[in-house]
Amino acid sequence: MKVESAVDELLDWIQSRKKHKSHLMIGIDGRCAAGKTTLAKRLAQEISCSYNVIPMDSFFLQMHQRTKERLSEPGGNIDYERVLEEVITPGIKREAFSYRPYDCKKQRLMDKVQMEQSVVTIIEGSYSCHPYFGDPYDLSIFLDIPKEEQKERIRRRNPEEYETFISRWIPMEEKYFNEFKIKDKCDTSFVLNEGRNGGNV
């Protein structure tokens, strides 16, 4: 499916649900390089109401949290406690909130990002549908991708980190997906084609 088609489908859903609910929470989970960030950005560009987009990449574990026991958990390499406390709980209440994104390269928490009250909150990225969060979403989406296409996209997008993705990050994601049956539990799923100009989704 083209990104534009997925966005149109989701916009129709948002418009229909807005008539009955003042605040909507959407989770976009799925495999690495499947287009989660692209879908969230494209959707946000087209939403005609206030929105917040929160990337799960901002919540990877800090160095002192990366114990052997924690990293052995399915989905344990994300700071799911902080996601729940700083984003999901206030998001459900439709409150303004702030969070401190973690910068993996600098290995430290950055300055607070302030999020205002919104009609739509989108949480995007792998582990966004972790069962630790309960069932917070009005709509949960799983983005899938064939394995060989996934490898090719990663090779083009992150050539210097390709081997790390293949040997570490993807196996950790797959462990999480399989253990918690994430795709089956999501409300809908898409396989997104590459963009009009052949760029990565």
Domain harbouring 50, CATH code: 3.40.50.300
User: Structurally, how many domains does the chain consist of?
Assistant: 1
Q: Is residue 102 part of a domain?
A: yes
Look up the domain containing 150 and give its range.
3-191
Q: What is the mean pLDDT of the chain?
A: 93
Q: What CA–CA distance (Å, rounded) separates 34 from 154?
A: 10
Q: Is residue 200 part of a domain?
A: no
| Spatial CB neighbours of 15, under 8 Å, sequence gap ≥ 6 | none
Q: Is residue 197 part of a domain?
A: no
Confidence tier at 195 by pLDDT (50, 70, 90): low
Q: Is residue 27 part of a domain?
A: yes
- The whole-number average pLDDT for the span 170-195 is 94
Please enumerate, as own/partner, the contacts of 97-103 that have beta carbons within 8 Å and a separation of 24 or more.
Answer: 99/54, 99/58, 99/59, 101/55, 101/57, 101/58, 101/59, 102/58, 102/59, 102/60, 102/61, 102/62
Give per-residue pLDDT as tens, 58-98. Answer: 999 999 999 999 999 999 999 999 999 999 999 888 889 99
- Output the DSSP codes for 12-56: HHHHHHHTT-S-EEEEEEE-TTSSHHHHHHHHHHH-SS-EEEEEG
Parallel, antiparallel, or unpaired for β 120-124 and 139-144?
unpaired
Residue 53 has pLDDT above 70, yes or no: yes
Q: Is residue 201 part of a domain?
A: no
Residue 61 main-chain phi, psi, to 5 deg: -60, 140
- The whole-number average pLDDT for the span 99-109 is 94
Q: Is residue 199 part of a domain?
A: no
